[in-house]
Structure 1
Amino acid sequence: MILDMKLTKALLVAGAAIFSLSGIAIAQDAAPGAAGPAAWIKVCNVEPKSKKEICLTTQEIRADSGQFLASVAIREIGKDGKKSLIIAVPPGMLIQPGLRLQVDKNKQREIKYGICFPNACYAELNITPDVIAEMKRGNQLTLTTLNQQAKAINFQLTLIGFTSSYDGEAIDPAQLQAQQKKLRDELQKKAEAARQKLIEQQQKATAN
């Protein structure tokens, strides 16, 4: 289970690189906008110990500032293995109540948190094919969790593009690496631009 979660985290991070480049941003308690070019993507890798392939069909949402808000992934271990729903939200939420997941106006499903890391808390739910079928038919996925003030926070994800990503081929590893390199380069450029702007502001302040 620990190895599975480590690989799951690695795949989620890899997917996040693509989401960051896609410009997908959404505010909490706001309806999702038009689907981006890669609202859902599929990534796969082999778990070293069991030699089984683990695939994630996943979507991540971020605020306009780039702050992580939430991610949802369908994890499949092996061709006919178990299917799990992996949800990640920012730390700082109330752990004991767990969170709720709802497709459109259908029945809400309660999910307990399993583990927290410095950057996110994860919840996992073993699912059956009917949950996937419901997501394929749906338009919107809503996650509801409670913040430290016990206030409900809703994260809404589009289900547009889920079916084609889930049923389709995983993204090519070479493409994934290229996207990650592009992201690193862009982040480096932004950091350098911010540093240069700070230097210019300090120089102006000194001159005055």
Structure 2
Amino acid sequence: MLGGLLLLALVTGPVSAQDAPVAAEPLQIGPANDSPQPWAINCSNEVGRDTIVCTMTQALVARDSNQRIIAATIYRPSPDAAALLRINLPHGILLQQGVDVSIDAGAPTRVPITIADQNGSYATLELTADLLVALQGGGLVTFGVKAANGEAVGFQLSLKGFTSAFAKL
């Protein structure tokens, strides 16, 4: 719910003194994929490559507009490379604070935000053996950020089906 408030604060923008006060409705956020398997698998061959590259992604979207709020994508940049977790974050967060990644009630790992563009900001984390075991055995992964006003905001994604989706990479 806090994630919805962050986006609502970001999209409403400033109001002038002449605007009549309007009660803001909370933004309804939910998974982009309502299927029993929340991790979507996408495979393609990149131009000039003979190898199929697959990704697994889960996203939270605004229910009314289908706009992405946050997404987590796991991929291997090359067949022999370690898997990476790319976190797509919304606008309106304090970039220098990074993103805290935690699984269930575990201690958070701070990940720097490395780039921002017109679609949001991004952080990338290598899936170490310990992190992979935690993701495969966990129930929820939480991505914690600070909104522009300094308020802590957490976005949660389900880890249901993570192990079977990861096996397809």
Question: Which of the five TM-score ranges fits, normalised by the shorter chain?
Answer: 0.7 to 0.9
Match of 1:103 in 2: 103
Alignment of 1:78-97 (within 5 A): 78-97=78-97
Contact 1:53 1:77 in 2 (8 A): no
1:127 CA displacement: 2.3
Deviation of the 1:45 alpha carbon: 2.5
In 2, the alpha carbon distance for the partners of 1:103 and 1:69 equals 19
> What corresponds to 2:155 in structure 1?
155
How big is the shift at 1:49?
6.0
CA-atom RMSD in angstroms? 2.2
Where 1:163 maps in the other structure, the secondary structure is helix
CA shift at 1:54, angstroms?
A: 3.2
Does residue 1:45 correspond to 2:44, yes or no?
Answer: yes
Letter in 2 for 1:40: W
Answer yes or no: is the 8 Å Cα contact 1:55–1:77 preserved in 2.
Answer: no
Distance in 2 separating the partners of 1:129 and 1:52: 24
The count of aligned residue pairs is 139
TM-score (norm 2): 0.73
- Separation of aligned partners in 2, 1:119 and 1:129: 30
The amino acid of 2:102's aligned partner reads: Q
Query: Aligned equivalents of 2:62 and 2:52: distance in 1?
Result: 32
Amino acid across the alignment from 1:149: N
Shift in Å at residue 157 of structure 1?
A: 0.6
List aligned pairs for 1:174-185, cutoff 5 A: none
Partner of 2:167: 167
1:96 alignment partner, SS class: helix
Give the secondary-structure state (helix, strand or coil) at the position aligned to 1:77. coil
Once residues 149 and 63 of structure 2 are traced to their aligned partners in structure 1, the CA distance between those partners, rounded to angstroms, is: 24
Structure 2 residue runs without a partner (length 5+): 1-27
Letter in 1 for 2:35: G
Partner Cα separation in structure 2 for residue 115 and residue 166 of structure 1? 25
More displaced, 146-155 or 67-76? Answer: 67-76
Q: Which has the larger radius of gyration?
A: 1
1 or 2, which has the higher helix percentage? 1
Query: What TM-score comes out, normalization by structure 1 length?
Result: 0.60
Which secondary structure does the structure 1 equivalent of 2:150 belong to? Answer: coil
Q: 1:153 and 1:85 mapped to 2: Cα distance?
A: 20
Residues in 1 aligned to 2:145 and 2:87: alpha-carbon distance in whole angstroms: 11
Contact 2:37-2:160 at 8 Å conserved across structures: no
Query: Match for 1:26 among 29, 32, 37?
Result: 29
2:98–2:145: 8 Å Cα contact kept in structure 1?
Answer: yes
Quick one: which amino acid aligns to residue 117 of structure 1? D
How far apart in 2 are the matches of 1:126 and 1:52?
21
Letter in 1 for 2:133: A
CA contact (8 A) 1:100 1:111 kept: yes
3-state SS of 2:92 partner: coil
Whether the 8 Å CA contact 1:71–1:89 is kept in 2: the answer is yes
- More displaced stretch, 58-67 vs 144-153: 58-67
User: Is the CA contact (8 Å cut-off) linking 2:145 and 2:154 kept in structure 1?
Assistant: yes
